């Protein structure tokens, strides 16, 4: 008789949704309550201030929406831009492609710099286009910080320097969905005008809470677009409605109450560990994964070390091997969820997500499962080699700086 239950837990190693800490799950087990009560602001008002810290901001304004990161993409674009406005962006993975698609469908004039998948945004190319834009027709530069489809992280600090070197007033919009709360992110220092996050990645929550940190410059742009006939349509994602209610601790519509309680607890987890320790831990786990890949004799999708992501590693399957079969076998045989290849890299890569609430032993379990699935699918790796390489690195490199 076929088994109807898999013993043990599912091992979730996609680059989001991520594992939820037990204390965060407990915090979300709350009874419904009146979100118009006099007590409600005691929950929400600190969230608007504390969440800014994860973005590396003191000057920004936080808006919380019941949405995924895709909704927050739309929020950034529709509040600050008008129909026909030019925006500059780079395409180097599935998520940068989808953001471009959204901008075009909203009616923006998108200038796309095509980059090889496995690389990221090229600051020098961005600077060149901005220098040539003498009339400052380009209103914003859009960059996906961490492209999970390919395991690539772009240098946002360098992009900011490129914009400044060009002397261009374009706003900087950054998708930090798979980086904020896991990788170093400094919204104020980099002068990011719209920084976008989703709850299901580094914030260690279920999907459904979209977060945006907005600069004063972007707020002024939104105010300036309000009276224009060519402004992009917005209702649900309009910042003005939030600006009227958030300062008193309320929302313009029903908020996702359990996620707000979860966010409070997730922020406590991050602050107790210390954000610099969080960034260091992800860097160590990322390098340990890459050590395993090298020991297997395989290559990452990232074309060179400068592009390596510390939240997800996309691994190229050997020629003639379908990566989708490795992923399916890992799930069915070992109860291990690995990330699939998307679009141009579908069937070519499998991805190990190492983001969120993970430690050394968590990661080693994923590496062991991936290694077994590789062997079961005929990939000639030395049994135990990936685990040995990763464990050696982890033993020599503690997850905490302190």
Q: Which residues, 6+ apart, have CB-to-CB distance to 46 below 8 Å?
A: 264
Q: Is the full-model pTM beyond 0.85?
A: yes
End-to-end CA distance of the chain: 52
pLDDT of residue 204: 98
d(CA 144, CA 162): 16
Q: Where are the alpha helices (DSSP H) in 17-93?
A: 22-28, 41-54, 69-80
d(CA 78, CA 80): 6
- On whether the CB atoms of residues 87 and 104 are closer than 8 A, the answer is no
* DSSP string over 164-230: HHTT---EEEEE-TTTTTTS---TTTTT-SEEEEETTTTT-S-S-EEEEEE-HHHHHHHHHHTT-TT
pLDDT of residue 227: 67
d(CA 15, CA 21): 16
Q: By three-state DSSP, how is residue 23 classified?
A: helix
| 285 backbone dihedrals φ, ψ, rounded to 5° | -65, -35
List beta partners, residue 88.
111, 141
d(CA 393, CA 286): 11
- Examine residue 87 and say whether the peptide bond preceding it is cis (omega within 30 degrees of 0): no
- CA angle, 333 then 335 then 338, to 5°: 100
CA Rg value for the chain: 22
The structure tokens 């917005």 sit at: 234
Q: Report residue 368 CA to chain centroid gap.
A: 25
- On whether the CB atoms of residues 72 and 144 are closer than 8 A, the answer is no
Query: CA 299, 327, 8, 2 torsion: positive or negative?
Result: negative
Nearest to 221 by CA among 200, 202, 246, 240: 240
d(CA 310, CA 146): 9
- On whether the CB atoms of residues 353 and 339 are closer than 8 A, the answer is yes
Domains of the chain as residue ranges with CATH: 22-271 (3.40.640.10), 274-396 (3.90.1150.10)
d(CA 17, CA 356): 9
- On whether the CB atoms of residues 94 and 76 are closer than 8 A, the answer is no
* DSSP string over 253-296: S---HHHHHHHHHHHHHHHHH-HHHHHHHHHHHHHHHHHHHHHH
* DSSP string over 153-180: E--HHHHHHHHHHTT---EEEEE-TTTT
Sequential pLDDT tens for the chain (402 residues): 455 677 888 999 999 999 999 999 999 999 999 999 999 999 999 999 999 999 999 999 999 999 999 999 999 999 999 999 999 999 999 999 999 999 999 999 999 999 999 999 999 999 999 999 999 999 999 999 999 999 999 999 999 999 999 999 999 999 999 999 999 999 999 999 999 999 999 999 999 999 999 999 999 999 987 667 788 999 999 999 999 999 999 999 999 999 999 999 999 999 999 999 999 999 999 999 999 999 999 999 999 999 999 999 999 999 999 999 999 999 999 999 999 999 999 999 999 999 999 999 999 999 999 999 999 999 999 999 999 999 999 999 999 987
pLDDT of residue 4: 67
Nearest to 91 by CA among 80, 102, 82, 81: 102
């Amino acid at each position: 008789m076929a088994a109807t239950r898999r013993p043990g837990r599912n091992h979730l190693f996609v680059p989001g949704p991520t594992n939820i800490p037990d204390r965060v799950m407990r915090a979300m087990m709350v009874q419904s309550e009146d979100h118009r009560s006099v007590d409600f602001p005691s929950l929400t008002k600190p969230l608007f201030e504390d969440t800014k810290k994860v973005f590396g901001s003191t000057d920004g304004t936080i808006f919380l929406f019941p949405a995924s990161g895709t909704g927050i993409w739309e929020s950034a674009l529709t509040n600050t831009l008008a129909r026909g406005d030019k925006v500059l962006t780079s395409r180097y993975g599935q998520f940068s492609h989808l953001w471009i698609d959204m901008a075009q469908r909203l009616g923006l004039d998108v200038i796309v710099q095509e980059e090889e998948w496995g690389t990221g945004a090229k600051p020098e190319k961005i600077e060149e286009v901005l220098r040539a834009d003498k009339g400052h027709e380009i209103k914003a530069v859009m960059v996906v910080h961490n492209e999970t489809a390919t395991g690539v992280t772009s240098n946002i600090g360098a992009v900011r320097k490129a914009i400044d070197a060009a002397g261009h007033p374009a706003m900087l919009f950054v998708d930090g969905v798979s980086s904020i709360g896991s990788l170093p992110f400094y919204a104020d220092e980099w002068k990011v005008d719209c920084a976008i996050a989703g709850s299901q990645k580094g914030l260690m929550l279920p999907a459904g809470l979209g977060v945006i940190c907005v600069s004063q410059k972007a707020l002024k742009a939104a105010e300036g677009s309000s009276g224009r006939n060519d402004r992009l349509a917005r209702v649900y994602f309009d910042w003005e409605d939030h600006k009227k209610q958030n300062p008193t601790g309320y929302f313009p519509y029903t908020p996702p109450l359990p996620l707000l309680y979860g966010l409070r607890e997730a922020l406590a987890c991050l602050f107790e560990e210390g954000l610099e320790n969080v960034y260091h831990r992800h860097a160590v786990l990322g390098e340990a994964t890459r050590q395993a890949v090298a020991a297997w004799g395989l290559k990452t999708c990232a074309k060179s070390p400068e592009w390596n992501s510390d939240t997800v590693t996309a691994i190229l399957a050997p020629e003639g091997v379908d990566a989708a079969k490795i992923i399916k076998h890992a799930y069915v045989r070992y109860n291990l969820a690995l990330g699939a290849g998307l679009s141009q890299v579908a069937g070519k890569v499998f991805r190990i997500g190492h983001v969120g609430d993970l430690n050394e032993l968590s990661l080693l379990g994923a590496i062991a499962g991936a290694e077994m699935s590789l062997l079961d699918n005929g990939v000639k790796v030395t049994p135990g080699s990936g685990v040995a390489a990763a464990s050696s690195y982890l033993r020599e490199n503690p997850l905490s700086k302190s």
